[in-house]
């Protein structure tokens, strides 16, 4: 292969005097994790609300949940980020738009909220499926005990449903982290973005992308292991047989 490998490039100083190329990648990794976690919190909160709406007896609630999910699921994430980043501020009153645009770290907040909303639709679908998979008797028993709908969800249905959907939620969390890479298109310099900058500055394309790849693999391994541990420690003895 006619390519000059230079693995020591990571220890050479990057332009800008803020450390080596390796430091650059670590900064990217940290931003990827921050964006991913922030987006995931938004996705979990909104996704839970919408997921519950989809299982309520009310027709209106079902349709709100349905419309929400369809809206966020049927547009590419990249297009959604463009809508939030480029289009939304232009549609708002001028002073609001300007505030939004000149907010420090605008790409970070836009990415976190945009990815959070995008992923919340997926969380909602998973949760609705989880609740639907519970035996009907659960809800009936809760009602018979005199619990309100809110209490039934809070104390009976959701705790079990979340345990059931733990494995798919793990992969949705990983998807959230991976999706932060799309935000390089709105100027977020996360891990993939830093790898690309490193490639541009040092011309060592494959070293830069290899390092980023290894870091993504590490994130995956850590998250999968952590979630498995969480799954086991939350398992209800004798109820759901963990994998």
Partner 1 sequence: MFANFDFDVIRRSLGYLFLDGMTFTLTLTALSAVGGIIFGTLIALMRLSGFRLLGRIAGLYVDFMRSLPLVLVIFWFYFLVPYVGQWVTGASRPIAVGAFTSALVTFIMFEAAYFSEIMRAGIQSISKGQPAAANALGLTYAQTMRYVVLPQAFRNMLPVLLTQTIVLFQDTSLVYVLSMPDFLGAASKVAQRDGRLVEMYLFAAVVYFTISCAASFAVRRLQARISIVR
Partner 2 sequence: MKRNAMIGYTLAAALCAGPAMAQELTGTLKKIKETGAITLGFRDSSVPFSYLDDSQKPVGYAMDICYKIVDAVKKELKLDKLEVKLNPVTSSTRIPLMANGTVDLECGSTTNNAERQKQVWFTNTHFLTASRFVSKKSSKINSIEDLKGKPVVSTSGTTNIKQLTEASAARNLGINIIPAKDHAEAFLMVETDRAVAFVMDDILLASLVAGSKAPGDYVISKDAFSKPEPYGIMLRKDDQAFKKVADAATAAVYTGGEGQKIYDKWFTQKIPPKGLNLNVPIDAKLKNQFAKPSDSPDPDSYK
Contact pattern from residue 9 through residue 48 relative to partner 2, giving x for each residue in contact according to CB under 8 A and a dash for the rest: ------xxxx------------------------------
181 binds partner 1 (CB under 8 A): yes
Compare residues 17 and 237 and give the one whose CB is closer to partner 2: 17
Compare residues 142 and 182 and give the one whose CB is closer to partner 1: 182
Phi first, then psi, for residue 20 (nearest 5°) are -85, 175
Count the alpha carbons within 13 Å of 205 in the hemisphere toward its beta carbon: 3
Helices (H), 147-189: 149-151, 158-164, 166-179
Q: Which stretch binds partner 1 (CB under 8 A): 15-23, 39-47, 145-153, 172-180?
A: 172-180
d(CA 111, CA 195): 18
| Inter-residue contact 218 to 25 (CB < 8 Å) | no
Cβ-based neighbours of 130, under 8 Å, separated by 6 or more: 51, 161, 162, 164, 165
Site for partner 1 in 55-74 (CB under 8 A): 70-71, 73-74
91 binds partner 2 (CB under 8 A): no
196 binds partner 1 (CB under 8 A): yes
d(CA 89, CA 99): 9
180 binds partner 1 (CB under 8 A): yes
d(CA 181, CA 240): 35
Q: CB of 67: closest distance to partner 1 in angstroms?
A: 11
147 binds, among partner 1, partner 2, none (CB under 5 to 8 A by kind): none
Single out the residue of 34, 30, 64, 31 nearest to residue 46, CA to CA.
64
48 binds partner 1 (CB under 8 A): no
98 binds partner 2 (CB under 8 A): yes
Residues that bind partner 2 in the complex, under the rule CB under 8 A: 2-3, 15-18, 86, 89-90, 98, 101-102, 104, 106-107, 185, 187, 189, 193, 196-197, 199-201, 203, 205
């Amino acid at each position: 292969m006619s390519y000059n490998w230079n693995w020591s490039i990571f220890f050479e100083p990057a332009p800008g005097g803020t450390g080596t190329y390796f430091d650059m990648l670590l900064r990217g990794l940290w931003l990827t994790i921050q964006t991913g976690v922030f987006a995931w919190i938004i996705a979990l909160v909104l996704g839970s609300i919408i997921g519950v709406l989809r299982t309520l007896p009310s027709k209106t609630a079902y349709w709100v949940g349905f419309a929400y999910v369809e809206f966020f699921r049927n547009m590419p994430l990249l297009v959604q980020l463009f809508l939030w980043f480029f289009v939304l501020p232009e549609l708002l009153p001028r002073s609001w738009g300007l505030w939004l645009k000149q907010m420090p770290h605008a790409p970070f907040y836009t990415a976190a909220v945009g990815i959070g909303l995008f992923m919340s639709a997926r969380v909602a679908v998973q949760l609705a499926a989880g609740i639907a998979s519970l035996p009907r008797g659960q809800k009936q028993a809760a009602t018979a005990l005199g619990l309100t709908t809110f209490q039934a969800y809070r104390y009976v249905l959701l705790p079990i449903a979340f345990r059931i959907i733990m494995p798919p939620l793990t992969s949705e969390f990983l998807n959230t982290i991976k999706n932060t890479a799309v935000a390089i298109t709105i100027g977020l310099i996360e891990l993939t973005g830093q790898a690309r900058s490193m490639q541009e500055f040092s011309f060592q394309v494959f070293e830069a992308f290899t390092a980023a790849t290894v870091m993504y693999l590490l994130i995956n391994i850590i998250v999968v292991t952590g979630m498995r541990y969480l799954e086991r420690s939350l398992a209800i003895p004798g109820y759901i047989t963990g994998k």
